[in-house]
Structure 1
Amino acid sequence: MGPADVEYIAAKTVDEVLVALADGGTSVLAGGQSLVPEVTRPGARPCRLVDINRVEGLDTLTETDGHLRVGALIRHRAFENDEVGGPLGELLRVVVRHIGHPPIRARGTMVGSLAFAHPAAEWPSMAVTIGARLVLHGPEGRRTVPAGSFFTAPFTTARRPEELLVEAQLPALPEGTGIGYAEDRRAGIYPQAAVMAAITVTGGVVSAARLCLVNSGPFPVRATAAENTLLGTTYSDTAVAAAAQAAAHQDTERLDDDAHQPRQRRAFHILTRRALRQAREGAGRCG
């Protein structure tokens, strides 16, 4: 079977997409930066592709009720400019710079990356870090799933085969929030390990801490012990060191692998310190 053997459907409405998905064996094509290489690989090809690029209403980027609503056709590059303000906008600009190359950012989509669910991808980790909500449209209507419950295994999510992921809802981050992102990777490939941080400082102390370990397991993991270590502190070097130690000993599937454990723990210790120091500088500027 070659690529020509895959049925192609150019949908114009969400209903047409749902009809195609109901038949089973159907993959959704938006930017195609992750999907197309899979289509050409034996054993991983869908029976059909449903192209959603002509579907109206999926290319919106709006701020409503304290959330940035990102439609399924919004490309990565939309987040390279200053269109989104505040700490959330800063986080998006920091993260998008680490995604692939300019041609990938011009075609690929945030929602497509979330649906593909690569355990080392940046957007899934961002969604888990800030507590995003993901909107799925299926035969029975729409439902919303928290990002923390959406990713269930590598390349596997809570999306049902007959559902389309139509929107990501990203909550605004409070003023006084600093952003940090540090990774261990070679250019053009997914990171071996990375840490994402969004730390809020109020009145000189840490009032909220969001810290995510990237590629530490089958899906993004919040480093809750490290977050708790930071809360209520003055964000000193001592607090950063303690949080880095806690993050390095976060229990995850990959860190429990004896073959990778020492190197992975060292990597997450170093990357957590870097991300937290970046976030501290940002929180200081906000304050």
Structure 2
Amino acid sequence: MIPAAFDYVAPTTVEEAVRALAEAGEDAKVLAGGQSLLPVLRVRLAAPTMLVDLGRIAELRGIREDGDALVIGAMTTHYEVQRDALVREHALLLGLTTDTVADPQVRHRGTFGGSLAHADPAGDLLAPALALEAEMVLAGPDGRRTVPAGEFFVDFFTTALAPGEILVEVRVPKHTGWSAHYEKFNRVAQAWSMVGVAAALRTEGGSIAEARIALTNMAATPVRAHAVEQALVGAPATAEVIRAAAEHAAEGTSPTTDGNADTEYRQHLARVLTGRAVVAAVGA
């Protein structure tokens, strides 16, 4: 199908983008990599009167260090995140997860910030952002504000972005020296995750000193597996201990039933995949 007619602007600064959104009102849409937006435009599930293309704003691209954090521009592509040396050193979980996103074509066009702002509960990057306690920097008519990942994801395809705001950058606390793994299950290659598990851990002397575990597609938003984390911290990094801790992965969750899996099966997957992810991360 052909999208409905719309106006198009391509600002070169964040301020111009915010102003364009304010002038267009609630019927405007932000265009990042377009991997999610363009398909829904084609079938007219969305019919904005204005598209604000962020592709020409240089400030929104790139990865840099800022003290104890990595700063990733919202328009940085998955491919750039995937190959970046700073990400591999200080936020390994993000790099490993990005390796699994869709296919090379999507990774070259899709953007890190676009995926987070789209907030698909089956999207792979939401869980590692939550696990690593990332912060989202938003720009709007009233200036800039910072929102923790735990507050940014609100509901299905819904974030804390207010009308007229754009995601500018993501600040990820450095997890230098942490081991990590992302384990997901899908029915066919390159499909959305039925369940995914993002695991980052720090070990000392054969024991797990810190653990960050987050789950994909187990709720309307990504969720932290706090019970698993508590069971792991202070425990020896052995496969037996890890698998026992992973039995807590589905506690407090009530995932939806759809054409891919029902609630009970997703809870089963969460337990199995959590065990696999943590075992792989620590090399047990």
**What does 1:237-248 correspond to in 2, within 5 Å?**
237-248=239-250
| Contact in 2 for aligned 1:255/1:265 (Cα 8 Å) | no
Change over 3 Å in CA distance of 1:262–1:219 after alignment to 2: same
**What does 1:196-207 correspond to in 2, within 5 Å?**
196-207=198-209
| Contact in 2 for aligned 1:113/1:121 (Cα 8 Å) | yes
2:170 partner amino acid: A
Residue 51 of structure 1, CA deviation: 0.6
2:184 partner amino acid: E
Q: Distance in 2 between matches of 1:200 and 1:124?
A: 21
2:76 partner amino acid: I
Q: Distance in 1 between matches of 2:58 and 2:118?
A: 22
Is 16-25 or 96-105 further displaced after alignment?
16-25
| Contact in 2 for aligned 1:151/1:157 (Cα 8 Å) | yes
1:264 to 263, 266, 270: 266
Q: Deviations over 1:254-279 (max 9, x none)?
A: 1699x823211221111011101111
Q: Which runs of 4+ in 1 moved over 4 A?
A: none
Change over 3 Å in CA distance of 1:4–1:264 after alignment to 2: closer
Could you tell me which residue of structure 2 aligns to residue 90 of structure 1?
A: 92
Q: Distance in 2 between matches of 1:88 and 1:207?
A: 17
2:210 to 193, 197, 208: 208
SS in structure 2 of the partner of residue 122 of structure 1: coil
Residue 6 of structure 1, CA deviation: 1.6
Could you tell me which residue of structure 2 aligns to residue 180 of structure 1?
A: 181
Instruction: Tell me, yes or no, if structure 1 residue 128 matches structure 2 residue 130.
Output: yes
**What does 1:65-76 correspond to in 2, within 5 Å?**
65-76=67-78
Could you tell me which residue of structure 2 aligns to residue 222 of structure 1?
A: 224
1:207 partner amino acid: A
Q: Distance in 1 between matches of 2:183 and 2:174?
A: 22
Q: Distance in 2 between matches of 1:277 and 1:219?
A: 25
2:61 to 59, 62, 65: 59
SS in structure 1 of the partner of residue 58 of structure 2: coil
Q: Distance in 2 between matches of 1:11 and 1:280?
A: 45
Q: Deviations over 1:137-161 (max 9, x none)?
A: 0111110000011001111000001
Q: Distance in 2 between matches of 1:4 and 1:13?
A: 27
Q: Distance in 1 between matches of 2:257 and 2:30?
A: 34
Residue 85 of structure 1, CA deviation: 5.5
Please, which runs of 5 or more residues in structure 2 have no aligned partner? none
| Contact in 2 for aligned 1:75/1:110 (Cα 8 Å) | yes
Q: Distance in 2 between matches of 1:12 and 1:180?
A: 37
Is 53-62 or 83-92 further displaced after alignment?
83-92
| Contact in 1 for aligned 2:254/2:263 (Cα 8 Å) | no
**What does 1:1-287 correspond to in 2, within 5 Å?**
2-3=2-3, 5-22=5-22, 23-84=25-86, 87-175=89-177, 177-185=178-186, 186-248=188-250, 250-254=251-255, 260-281=262-283
Please, which runs of 5 or more residues in structure 1 have no aligned partner? none
Is 127-136 or 87-96 further displaced after alignment?
87-96
Residue 242 of structure 1, CA deviation: 2.0
Residue 86 of structure 1, CA deviation: 5.3
Change over 3 Å in CA distance of 1:87–1:276 after alignment to 2: farther
Q: Deviations over 1:88-126 (max 9, x none)?
A: 343233111111111111111100101001101111111
Percent of pairs with identical residues: 38
Q: Distance in 2 between matches of 1:180 and 1:61?
A: 21
Residue 81 of structure 1, CA deviation: 2.2
| Contact in 1 for aligned 2:88/2:95 (Cα 8 Å) | no
Is 200-209 or 152-161 further displaced after alignment?
200-209
Change over 3 Å in CA distance of 1:82–1:59 after alignment to 2: closer
Q: TM-score, normalised by structure 1?
A: 0.91
Residue 9 of structure 1, CA deviation: 1.2
SS in structure 1 of the partner of residue 248 of structure 2: helix
Q: TM-score, normalised by structure 2?
A: 0.92
